[in-house]
Structure 1
């Protein structure tokens, strides 16, 4: 079973985490199922950028982003070449290392 290594995030996952994930699971679902409360303002419908992540290792194992995701990523804070929307990035059979950016484009969060 593949693992997702989540790098430390000051608010959402201060110590980082290692998650065991079933192939075919979105990274967003894996994070939420493991109590890492990543924002997902559009309820995982690929209509915002609040679940933006940067894949530090294993990016090439993810399927290609479609045009809608690519267009949305252009609006994400801290965009990098290995950025993805976690609601659209589906885990394959390989391990991943992901980083949740410090900020999103939301000016306010429902959690705070």
Structure 2
């Protein structure tokens, strides 16, 4: 069983029995609005997540993420939801401040 907890969305929990799924797919399948300006192609950083816990449960960095990290557009505790696959366990994340939607209510 896999679990994603989005801390600043009132600790919203997503449960899945399917591993090796991109994080953004699991989020969207659970009817949670999450920004992705480039259409989930890894060409921007609008879908980034801040990882509070569970980095070890994700797939390795993709080439696209490596480029963004080298250009200092992704910090060490950030990944792109359109690139990272959840392999196992629990992932605790936050929506980055600059990627919050104005029509959604976020918690602290």
The answer on 1:71 being equivalent to 2:67 is yes
More helix by share: 2
SS at match of 2:92: strand
TM-score normalised over the length of structure 1: 0.77
The answer on 1:27 being equivalent to 2:23 is yes
Corresponding residue for residue 6 of structure 1:
6
**Change over 3 Å in CA distance of 1:75–1:81 after alignment to 2:** closer
The alpha-carbon deviation at position 75 of structure 1 amounts to 5.5
Corresponding residue for residue 88 of structure 2:
93
Structure 1: tracts of 5 or more residues without a match: none
Provide the rounded CA distance (Å) in 1 between the counterparts of 2:29 and 2:43: 21
2:40 aligns with one of 44, 55, 73: 44
TM-score normalised over the length of structure 2: 0.80
Provide the rounded CA distance (Å) in 2 between the counterparts of 1:70 and 1:16: 29
| Structural RMSD (CA) | 1.9
Q: Which 4+ residue blocks in structure 1 deviate beyond 3 angstroms?
A: 73-76
2:75 aligns with one of 65, 71, 80: 80
Provide the rounded CA distance (Å) in 1 between the counterparts of 2:68 and 2:45: 6
The alpha-carbon deviation at position 66 of structure 1 amounts to 2.3
Given that 2:52 and 2:93 are in contact with CA atoms closer than 8 Å, whether structure 1 keeps it comes out as yes
Aligned residues: 99
More strand by share: 2
Structure 2: tracts of 5 or more residues without a match: 104-108
